[in-house]
Structure 1
Amino acid sequence: MRVLLLVLQVLIMCWSLVAAANDSDWQLYKQTATVKVHFRQLDKARLEINAELQTQSKLGAFMHLLNDTPAITNWVDGAERAQVIAQVNPHSHVVHSYFSGFWPVSPRDMITQSIWSQDEISGVLSIDIIDRGQDYPAQKGYVRMEQVSGRWQLTPLTEGGVLIQYQGQADPAGKLPHFIGNKAALKASFNTFKNLEHILSRYQEPYPGINEKN
Structure 2
Amino acid sequence: MMKLYKMALWSFFLFLSLDTKANWITWHSKDNLVIKFQTQDSGVIAIQAATFIPNADRMSLIALLNDTQNASNWLKNVSKVEKIISPNSAEDIVYTELAAPWPVTDRVMLTHSCHKKINESKSKIIIRSVGEAKLNKFIEKDINAILVTPVEGFWLLEDKQNGLHIQHEIYANPQGKIPRWLSNKTALKGVRHTFNNLAHFLLKPQYSKSFKLEMSNCIGFE
Q: How does 1:163-182 map to 2 (within 5 A)?
A: 163-182=165-184
Q: Residue 213 of structure 2: which of 194, 209, 214 is its match?
A: 209
What is the aligned length?
204
Are the equivalent residues in 1 in contact too, given 2:6–2:83 (CA < 8 A)? Answer: no
Q: Which runs of 5+ in 2 are unaligned?
A: 216-222
- Letter of the 1:149 partner, please give it: E
Q: Which amino acid aligns with 1:131?
A: S
Whether the aligned pair in 2 keeps the contact of 1:5 and 1:112 (CA below 8 Å) is no
**Residue of 46, 49, 62 corresponding to 1:48:** 46
TM-score (norm 2): 0.84
Q: How much does 1:13 deviate? A: 2.6
- Secondary structure of 1:44's counterpart equals coil
1:74 aligns with 2:76: no
Separation in 2 of the partners of 1:207 and 1:50? 26
- In structure 2, relative to structure 1, the CA distance for the partners of 1:6 and 1:83 (3 Å cut) is closer
Query: Structure 1: where are the runs of 5+ without partners?
Result: none
1:194 matched to which residue of 2? Answer: 196
**How much has 1:204 moved relative to structure 2?**
1.1
CA pair 83-177 structure 1, distance change in 2 beyond 3 A: same
1:127 paired residue number: 125
Q: How does 1:49-128 map to 2 (within 5 A)?
A: 49-56=47-54, 57-121=56-120, 123-128=121-126
Letter of the aligned partner of 1:179 in structure 2? W
- Aligned CA distance change for structure 1 residues 27 and 120 (closer, same or farther; 3 Å): closer
Q: Are 1:5 and 1:114, in contact at CA under 8 Å, matched by a contact in 2?
A: no
The letter for the 2-side match of 1:47 is: I
Decide whether the 8 Å contact of 1:4 with 1:97 is kept in 2: no
Q: Under a length normalisation based on structure 1, what TM-score does the superposition of the two structures give?
A: 0.87
Local SS of the residue matching 1:12? coil
Once the two structures are TM-superposed, the CA of residue 44 in structure 1 deviates from its matched residue by 3.4
Indicate the SS of the match to 2:51: strand
The reply to whether residue 184 of structure 1 matches residue 190 of structure 2 is: no
* Paired residue type of 2:15: W
Instruction: Supply the RMSD in Å over aligned alpha carbons.
Output: 2.2
Task: Kindly state the Cα deviation for residue 210 of structure 1 after the two structures are TM-superposed.
Answer: 6.4
Residue 154 (structure 1) aligns with:
157
Write the deviation string for residues 20-49 of structure 1: whole angstroms up to 9, x where unpaired.
x9x5x1111112221111001012342110
| AA aligned opposite 1:116 | H
Change (3 A) 1:43 1:90: same
Q: Which deviates more, 145-154 or 129-138?
A: 129-138
On the 8 A contact 2:78/2:99 being kept in 1, the answer is yes
2:143 matched to which residue of 1? Answer: 140
Matches of 1:31 and 1:76, distance apart in 2: 20
Q: Is the 8 A contact 1:13 1:166 kept in 2?
A: no
Contact 2:6 2:71 in 1 (8 A): no
Identical-pair percentage: 25
Aligned-residue offset at 1:125: 1.6
